[in-house]
Each structure stands twice: as C-alpha cells, then as structure tokens.
Amino acid sequence: MGETGFPVGDASGVPVVVAPEEVDITNADELRAALRQAATRGPGAFVVDLTSTTFCDSAGVHALVEAYKRARAEGGQVVLVAVSGRSVPRILALTGVDRMLPCFPSLAEALASVPAAEPR
C-alpha cells in the first residue's frame, strides 16, 4: 500500500490520520491521500488527529468534508480530535464542519465514540 506524507497509524484497531502543524493548499492532496488510505483499512470509522494542527485553510476543510461524504456513503464515520482554544476548532465551527464531523478534545474520547473494530 502506498504511503502518504501524513502518518496513518492504528489505535485500538481504528485507523488514525495524524495531521501536521499546518494543513493548507500545499499539502491538502497529501491529506486526501492519507484519508483515503485510512478509509481502505476496513469499513467503519477512522480518526483524524488535529491536535498538533494550528492552521487549516479551506483546502484542508474541503478534504475533511470529502472524507466525511465518502465515509457516509459507505456506511462509515470520520471522527476528529482537536484541542479547544486553538484556531482549528474555531475554523471547524465557522465552516459548519463541526456539525457534520464529531470532534473530541482527546484521542481517547474519539476512540471511545467509535464502534469497536471488527477482528480481521
């Protein structure tokens, strides 16, 4: 499987995409690739960890919305992790993305919100 510039890990059987400090037009395609890679690791939910992300422009927001639409069409779910008090949760609120994608302040809370991964 091809690797992306954004790490796609695993936590408790759930794929986790770790976003960098800045997500913008220069790396939004890498984010899209990582989101697709996470989605192919099996049906169900995956997490996008934005805890280190301090900036996310419209290209990054668009990539998250695309992932949400694709996951929803396939019966899956995308869950976000973002630290409150930073700009990313504010951007998600201003764009309405926080009404589509559940957003949690910690990875543990995000993982607790998704159904248990099916054994492979």
Residues 6+ apart with CB under 8 A from 42: 15, 117, 118, 120
Cut 0.85: pTM above it: yes
Under a CB-based contact definition with an 8 Å cutoff, are residues 67 and 78 in contact? Answer: yes
**Residues 47-65: tens digit of each pLDDT:** 999 999 999 999 999 999 9
- Residue range 62-90: average pLDDT? 92
Under a CB-based contact definition with an 8 Å cutoff, are residues 81 and 104 in contact? Answer: yes
pLDDT of residue 119 exceeding 70: no
Which residues is 77 bridged to in the sheet? 45
The confidence score (pLDDT) of residue 90 equals 92
Check residue 114 and report its DSSP letter: S
Rounded mean pLDDT of the chain? Answer: 89
Q: What are the residue boundaries of the structural domains of the chain, listed by start?
A: 19-113
- The enclosing H or E element of 20 equals none
The confidence score (pLDDT) of residue 77 equals 93
At the top level of CATH, the class of 19-113 is alpha beta
Longest pairwise C-alpha distance within the chain: 39
Chain centroid to CA 58 = 15
Q: What share of the chain has pLDDT > 70, as a percent?
A: 91
